[in-house]
Amino acid sequence: MRNKSITSGSIWKNMLAFFFALLLGAFFQQLYNTVDAIIVGRAVGSDALGAVGGSAAMVVNLFLGFFLGLSSGATVVISQFYGAGKREEIEKAVHTAIALSIAGGAIISVIGVLISPWLISVMQTPAEQAEAGTMYLRIFFLGMIPNLIYNMGSGILRAVGDSRRPLIVLIISCVVNIILDITFVIGLGLGKKGDVYGVAGVAVATILCQLISALIIMFVLARSTDSYRLYIRKIRFDTDMLSRIIKIGIPAGFQTTTYTLSNTLIQASINSLGKDVASAWAAYGKVDVIFWMTIGSLGTVATTFAGQNFGAGKFDRVRNSTRQALAIASIITIPMSLLFCIYGNVLLGIFVVDQKVIDIGVQMIYYLAPFYITYICVEIFAGVLRGMGDAFVPMMITLVGICVLRVIWILFVFPMHRTVEMIEMSYRVTWCATSILFVIYYFIYIKKHDIYKK
C-alpha cells in the first residue's frame, strides 16, 4: 500500500521527481494569478485591478493562508499513517479532513460575506476601488467550500506521494479560469459596464473554476482503490483525528498569517520611500517569486518524505532525506541567486521600462539574492519537523525569528535610517537568525527523541 518511491529507493531521485511536479503546479498557480491581473487591468481598468489585487487580495491571502496551513496538519497526519500502513486511521483522517473543509468553508463564507465591507474599509482602500473590492470579496467568499475542498484534496494526494494528479487538476483549473475570465469580462462585455461588473465577472469565473476543481478532486479520491479512498457517506468528524490535524495545522496556519501581516508592515515602509521604490519593490517581487515557489515546493517535499518515513519507522531515511533536501535546495538556490544578480536588469525590464525604477530593483536583487541561501534551512527544517509531527516549536521559531524580529526592526531600527537598504537588511538579519535557531532546534529534537539511534 505504501508509496515505495518515498519509503524506499533513491531519495534524491524521487525527491526531484516529486519536487518538479510541485514546482510546475506553483508555476501554473502563478500564471493563474498573472492572467487574472492582465485581463482585469486591460479589459476593465486600473481601479478594478487595484480592487482585485490590492486590499481584496490581502484579505483573501489571510483567510486562505490560515486554512492552507491548517490543511497541512491533515497532510502530515495522513502521510505518517500512510507510511505506517494504517488503513483504518488513513480512512478516518481523510474523511475528517474533507469534513473540516466543508465546515470551515461554510463558516468562512458566512463570516466573509457579512464583514467584507468592513474589511475593505478598515484597510483604507481608495474610494474608487472600495465598491468593486467589496463585490469581489463577497463573491469569492461564496466559493470557499469548493476552494477548501480542492486544496485539502490536493494535500491528501500529496501526502501519499501523488503530485501528478493535483498538477493535472491545477492545469485544468488554470485553463478553465482563463476561458471563463475572457468569456465573462470580454465576451459578455462585463468589463465595459464598469469596475463592479468587470470585477464580479472575474470573481464568478474564479469560484466556478474552483467548483470544477473540487469536483474533479472528489472524483479522483472517490475512484481510488487505495486506503485514502473517499466515501461521501462517511464524511464526518472523528474527534481523535480532528485533534491530531488541528494540533499540527493551527500553528502552521497561524505562522502563515503572521507572515502576511509582517509583510504588510514591510510594504507600508516601502511605500513611505516613494513611488519609484514601491514600483521597484513590486517588480523585484515578480522576480523574487521564482525563489519562493522553488523553496516552498522543496519544503512540501521535505514534509511528505519526513512524514511517510517517520510513520514507517525509517528514521535513517528521515535524516537522509533532510540532508538531501538541503543539498538539492543549495544546488538550486546558488545558481539561481547568481543568475538573478547577473541578469537582474533584463528580468526587471520585463515588468517595468523606467530605468530609474530598474536601477533600484537591481540594487534590491544585489542586496537580497545572495542571502537566499541563508533561508533554505528555515523551509527545509520546518518541513521536516512538521512531517515528524512537531508544528508548535517551528511556528514559534518562525514567529519570533522572522515576524517579531522583522516588526521590531521596522518599528525601531528603520526610523533611525530611513533607506531601502535598511528595510532590506531586515530580511538578511531575520533569515540568518531564524536559520540558526532551526538548525539548533532540529538537532536537539532528533537527539531528544533518539532518532539518531533508530
Segment 408-433, tens digit of pLDDT: 998 899 888 888 899 999 999 999 99
Contact yes or no for 256/68 (Cβ under 8 A): yes
Average pLDDT value for residue range 67-79: 86
Model confidence pTM above 0.85:
no
Cα separation, 270 vs 264, in Å, equals 10
Query: Average pLDDT of the chain?
Result: 86
Position with higher pLDDT, 64 vs 48:
64
Taking a C-beta distance cutoff of 8 angstroms, is the pair 113, 138 a contact? yes
Nearest-angstrom CA–CA distance, 381 and 307: 13
Coil, helix or strand at residue 54: coil
Using the predicted structure, report yes or no on whether residue 448 has a pLDDT greater than 90. Answer: no
pLDDT score for 51: 62
pLDDT tens column, 248-299 = 888 888 877 777 777 777 877 887 787 788 778 877 887 888 898 899 889 9
Predicted confidence at residue 213, as pLDDT, reads 93
pLDDT tens-digit series, residues 342-368: 998 998 887 777 788 889 889 999 999
| Residue 226 Ramachandran class (φ > 0 left, ψ -120 to 50 alpha, else beta) | beta
In contact, 304 and 75? CB cutoff 8 Å: yes
Nearest-angstrom CA–CA distance, 402 and 396: 10
Mean pLDDT of 47-69: 72
* Whether residue 127 has pLDDT greater than 80: no
Joined grid coordinates for residue 86: 494504517
**Strand, helix or coil for residue 125:** coil
Cβ proximity of 235 and 103 under 8 Å: no
pLDDT of residue 49: 64
Residue 2 pLDDT exceeds 50 = no
The pLDDT value given to residue 248? 86
Q: What is the pLDDT of residue 72?
A: 84
The predicted structure's pLDDT at residue 452: 56
Please choose, from the candidates 246, 220, 86, 102, the residue with its C-alpha nearest in 3D space to the C-alpha of residue 164.
220
Residue 451 pLDDT grade (very low, low, confident, very high; cuts 50, 70, 90): low
Of the chain, the percentage scoring pLDDT greater than 70 comes to 93
pLDDT of residue 1: 42
CB-based contact 381:401 (threshold 8 Å):
no
pLDDT of residue 37: 67
